[in-house]
Protein backbone atom coordinates (compact mmCIF):
# COMPACT_ATOMS: atom_id res chain seq x y z
CA UNK A 1 0.00 0.00 0.00
CA UNK A 2 1.04 3.57 -0.51
CA UNK A 3 0.79 6.10 2.30
CA UNK A 4 1.33 9.84 2.57
CA UNK A 5 2.89 11.24 5.75
CA UNK A 6 2.64 14.88 6.82
CA UNK A 7 5.31 15.74 9.41
CA UNK A 8 5.55 18.93 11.47
CA UNK A 9 8.84 19.70 13.23
CA UNK A 10 8.98 22.56 15.73
CA UNK A 11 11.59 23.95 18.10
CA UNK A 12 11.01 22.85 21.68
CA UNK A 13 9.03 25.38 23.71
CA UNK A 14 11.88 25.84 26.21
CA UNK A 15 14.30 26.97 23.47
CA UNK A 16 14.60 30.35 21.85
CA UNK A 17 13.30 30.68 18.31
CA UNK A 18 15.09 33.66 16.70
CA UNK A 19 13.09 33.40 13.46
CA UNK A 20 9.82 33.31 15.36
CA UNK A 21 10.88 36.25 17.51
CA UNK A 22 11.77 38.31 14.41
CA UNK A 23 8.38 37.52 12.86
CA UNK A 24 6.60 38.39 16.13
CA UNK A 25 8.37 41.75 16.25
CA UNK A 26 7.52 42.45 12.62
CA UNK A 27 3.85 41.69 13.30
CA UNK A 28 3.87 44.58 15.78
CA UNK A 29 5.49 46.86 13.20
CA UNK A 30 2.91 46.15 10.49
CA UNK A 31 -0.11 46.71 12.68
CA UNK A 32 -0.84 43.13 13.67
CA UNK A 33 -0.20 43.50 17.38
CA UNK A 34 -2.78 40.81 18.19
CA UNK A 35 -0.36 38.17 16.83
CA UNK A 36 2.36 37.15 19.27
CA UNK A 37 4.67 34.29 20.26
CA UNK A 38 5.25 33.08 16.69
CA UNK A 39 7.26 29.86 16.38
CA UNK A 40 8.78 28.84 13.05
CA UNK A 41 9.18 25.16 12.16
CA UNK A 42 9.29 22.86 9.16
CA UNK A 43 6.69 20.82 7.33
CA UNK A 44 7.70 17.67 5.47
CA UNK A 45 5.55 15.51 3.22
CA UNK A 46 6.73 12.09 2.15
CA UNK A 47 5.31 8.98 0.56
CA UNK A 48 5.99 5.46 1.76
CA UNK A 49 5.22 2.01 0.41
CA UNK A 50 4.43 -0.44 3.22
CA UNK A 51 2.26 -3.45 3.86
CA UNK A 52 0.06 -1.70 6.44
CA UNK A 53 -0.52 1.49 8.43
CA UNK A 54 1.31 0.28 11.55
CA UNK A 55 4.48 -0.41 9.57
CA UNK A 56 4.21 2.97 7.84
CA UNK A 57 3.91 4.70 11.24
CA UNK A 58 6.99 2.86 12.51
CA UNK A 59 9.01 3.82 9.42
CA UNK A 60 8.01 7.48 9.59
CA UNK A 61 8.75 7.59 13.31
CA UNK A 62 12.20 6.07 12.67
CA UNK A 63 12.87 8.63 9.91
CA UNK A 64 11.98 11.47 12.27
CA UNK A 65 14.11 10.14 15.12
CA UNK A 66 17.13 9.23 13.01
CA UNK A 67 17.24 12.01 10.41
CA UNK A 68 14.48 14.58 10.14
CA UNK A 69 14.25 15.99 13.69
CA UNK A 70 16.96 16.91 16.16
CA UNK A 71 15.33 15.54 19.30
CA UNK A 72 17.54 17.64 21.56
CA UNK A 73 16.12 20.85 20.11
CA UNK A 74 12.94 19.88 18.25
CA UNK A 75 9.68 18.04 18.65
CA UNK A 76 7.73 16.37 15.87
CA UNK A 77 4.32 14.97 15.12
CA UNK A 78 2.94 13.32 12.03
CA UNK A 79 -0.17 12.01 10.42
CA UNK A 80 -0.45 9.30 7.80
CA UNK A 81 -3.16 8.62 5.27
CA UNK A 82 -3.65 6.09 2.51
CA UNK A 83 -3.04 7.35 -1.03
* CATH at 38: 3.30.1280.10
Question: Could you give the C-alpha distances from 46 to 11, 76, 78, 80, in angstroms and in order?
Answer: 20, 14, 11, 10
Mean residue pLDDT of the chain comes to 97
Give tens-digit pLDDT for 24-58: 999 999 999 999 999 999 999 999 999 999 999 99
Contact 40, 23 (CB under 8 A): yes
Domain ranges, residue 42: 2-82
| Tally of domains in the chain | 1
The pLDDT of residue 21 is 95
The pTM score is 0.89
Amino acid sequence: MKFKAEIDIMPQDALLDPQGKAVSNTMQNIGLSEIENVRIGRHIRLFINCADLKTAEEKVNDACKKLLANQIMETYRFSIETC
